[in-house]
Amino acid sequence: MIIVTGAAGFIGSNLVTRLNNENHNDLILVDDFSDPEKNRNLEGKKYDRRIDRDEFLDWFKKTHDDIEFIFHLGARTDTTETSKEIFDKLNLNYSKEIWKTCSDKCISMIYASSAATYGAGELGYDDSHELVKKLKPLNPYGRSKNDFDKWVLTQNDQPPYWVGLKFFNVYGPNEYHKGRMASVIFHAFNQIRDTGKMKLFRSHRPDIADGDQKRDFIYVKDVVDVLHYLMEKGKRTGIINLGTGKARSFADLTNGTFRSVGIPANIEYIDTPVDIRDSYQYFTEARVNKFFKTGYDIPFHPLEQGIDDYVRNYLIPGKYN
């Protein structure tokens, strides 16, 4: 059996689809299943059972089922949440318990870290283990992810194989439930459909033009292909960046969305909200040298291609993956 935490979420539900496509149907799905909107991500999926997030840790410690692998993707991901207690509970301590059980039972695991650990990028985006303890994330979410990375690197007891993936900006189907935290493409599509234009955050730095804020955008279908590959063929343990290695601007992304919708671009710039302005990342770009040493050699979707697939095949018809 394979466990997926965060299974009803964005990346988790896409991973369930990818595993089903490879005839992995003996899945144990873990999440808070109280949100009907998020649960739509699992409609039509094949799995053995669901276990509520609050019941899972106890079950995992006591189970005698044959668990082959765990993808730990569940987390509190709201970057506007300010409660350290919430992040300590759901991101740090919950993850520690999963790690300990995997170590005790010799179960291999992949867990989700985040590019948010890099903060403003003043130390670069190198996924060397030596850099982890020096990083200064800009918000409690990023700090919780980095705190777990730091803890992992101090552990003598480890799963037989493990990878912590620092996800950069993932976009794609099954993020309907994410609200403010959904990708810019999702918000662009909805604004373009409803108003014929898109609002982007104005730059509050004199050295960066409006719309030229950049992120390393990676399509969720590429992410789950990587997750499946690492489960099947991965050999290198450690914390590894997962991005394309090529930063693109929000203007590029928005113009691509307009093209996929089929109307001329019309971008309006607005002030970045005060509550996130000081923690806003103006640039992220994964260093992917370590990732490609895993042997993965399937090309990622170029940004324009990923946007077009997402918009035409999912957002316009309102479909899930």
Report yes or no on 321 lying in a domain: no
258: domain CATH number is 3.90.25
**Domain, as residue range, for 15:** 2-170+217-245+285-302
> What pLDDT, on a 0 to 100 scale, did the predictor assign at position 78?
63
141 labelled catalytic: yes
- CA nearest neighbour of 94 among 147, 41, 47: 147
DSSP character string of 77-107: --TT---HHHHIIIIIIHHHHHHHHHHHHT-
Residue 178 known to be catalytic: yes
* pLDDT, average across residues 248-264: 96
Same domain, 195 and 166: no
Of the listed ranges 78-82, 210-214, 234-238, the least confidently predicted one is: 78-82
CATH of the domain at 92: 3.40.50.720
Residue 79 is predicted with a pLDDT of 61
Residue 66 lies in a domain: yes
Q: How many domains does one find in the chain?
A: 2
Give strand pairing partners of 217: 169
Confidence of residue 50 (pLDDT cuts 50, 70, 90): very high
Residue 92 lies in a domain: yes
Catalytic: which of 111, 141, 171, 310? 141
CB atoms under 10 Å from CB of 251, counted, come to 19
What is the CB neighbour count within 10 angstroms for residue 115?
27
pTM over 0.75: yes
- Residue of 45, 150, 178, 197 marked catalytic: 178
Q: What is the pLDDT of residues 74-122, one digit of tens each?
A: 987 666 566 777 777 888 899 999 999 999 999 999 999 999 999 989 9
Q: What local confidence, expressed as pLDDT, does residue 275 receive?
A: 82
Q: Is residue 320 part of a domain?
A: no
Integer Cα distance of 302 and 293 in angstroms: 21
List, as own/partner pairs, every contact residues 90-97 make where C-beta atoms lie below 8 angstroms and the sequence separation is at least 24, other chains included.
91/141, 91/144, 91/145, 91/148, 92/144, 92/147, 92/148, 92/151, 94/57, 95/148, 96/148, 96/151, 97/57
